[in-house]
Amino acid sequence: MKKSLLLVTFIFMAGWTFAQEVTIELFKGGFNSPLNLQHAQDNRLFVVEQGGKIKIVQANGTVNTTAFLDISSQVSHGSEQGLLGLAFHPNYAANGYFYINYTDTNGDTHISRFSVDSSNADIANSNSELSILTYSQPYSNHNGGNLVFGPDGYLYISSGDGGSGGDPTNQAQNINSFLGKLLRIDVDNPSGGNNYGIPTDNPFFGNQNAKQEIYAYGLRNPWRFSIDLTENNIWIADVGQNNIEEINRAPLTSAGLNYGWRCYEGSQPYNNQNCPPTSELEFPLAEYTHQNGNCSITGGYVYRGSTYSDIAGLYFFADYCSGMIGTVDGSENLINHGNFSGNWVSFGEDLNKELYVVDISGGNIYKINGGEIASTENSTLSNGLTISPNPASDFLDFTLKNDTFQTIQIFDIKGHLVHSQENIAGNKTTIPLKSLSSGIYMARITSGKGLVMVKKIIIR
């Protein structure tokens, strides 16, 4: 029996690879219309609720009973309005500044800065609001709402075309309008009587006949966009009108791109009246239609976490209506990983760049899992790690010298996550094995210092 087990172990270790697979697992539920997820350069996760609250999920998985911020009385919500976006200043640890995007009780857009309470890191100072930028919304839909700080330190803001349908007043092509745009502002260097400055490399800087805050235009409703710091690209998922949902990618240095709406919906003509030549337009990297129940794209992130190797470098997106979760790979191939039960409105990253997806209707946050765990091993971590007994029947004791455990994840031979112990914050922990069948598993250990390794374990 023992020789047979050792032979199986050898064969398994020699072929530790799996087909690409994407699954989701419930991370935390019980939220009221969540639609954004961010971290503040620490292990907490901040959940933005449409009605005007931001709640904190602590490192141990508990949700604070007191909201981090509550501006419910200032917010119009329902349909596509509400508290829509959150971004923490790159120097948040020192200055305590964070920025939100919301629609007020008249339905107009506000980008405001708030400060964390000086005596409590889990509560914002509700009296600290500083208005950064406001603009009118002619209709209740297509508000955009996403906020992202770029590696240049500037704040990027997504704005929809103002709503209704078909962009009736052609706001997206109008460079003297904030609507249908990505805006870029400098919140650290105010000028011109504003609480922000205009980056000098913005495409319309110095142009008195244009909104100088514009970074890109010709967008319908760029509800969610992200910046991939590894390749310095911006990814924009633009919600379609009748049939096409589109994904755009461009180098972050390519300011001034015109993404074509309302002249084109994706790659197809929509309303070509008074449109520029196609040579002046930026067409999608990938797109999909409204077949099979699709209706509205939610943009995500390029996976840069360290847990899974088969999804590394893939851009994740989802569809609100069908529940589809998909990816785009480095060869620009769009891959449909299937329909999942959720109305997906946002993705999020944690401190370690692991991905989550947000279901507004169910009030749940799910973690994105790949199918092949990375085999990265750190010799410093390995030398200080003890796992006993191994093989084991009832439990495994993990001990670590000169460091603490952050997470321990156990995967079966197909790469499925079967057990996860997170936010351990100690150098000893015990994992019960009663719920696991006999066989060979891999334990992926992440330390408090961010070191990672994978170890084989055997359950008898």
Domains, the chain: 23-369 (2.120.10.30), 385-459 (2.60.40.1930)
Predicted confidence at residue 282, as pLDDT, reads: 98
Neighbours of 69 (CB within 10 A): 24
45-70 pLDDT, tens per residue?
999 999 999 999 998 889 999 999 99
382-399 pLDDT, tens per residue?
778 999 999 999 999 999
Predicted confidence at residue 412, as pLDDT, reads: 81
222-275 pLDDT, tens per residue?
999 999 999 999 999 999 999 999 999 999 999 999 999 999 999 999 999 999
* Secondary structure (H, E, C), 78-127: ECCECEEEEEECCCHHHHCEEEEEEECCCCCEEEEEEEEECCEEEEEEEE
**Is residue 15 over pLDDT 60?**
no
**Is residue 2 over pLDDT 50?**
no
CA atoms of 316 and 447, how far apart (whole Å): 27
Q: Please tell me whether the overall predicted TM-score, pTM, comes out greater than 0.85 for this model.
A: no
pLDDT > 90: what percent of the chain?
81
Residue 270 CB contacts under 8 Å (≥ 6 apart), including other chains: 166, 241, 261, 262, 263, 264
- Residue closest to 456 by CA, chosen among 446, 430, 424, 445: 445
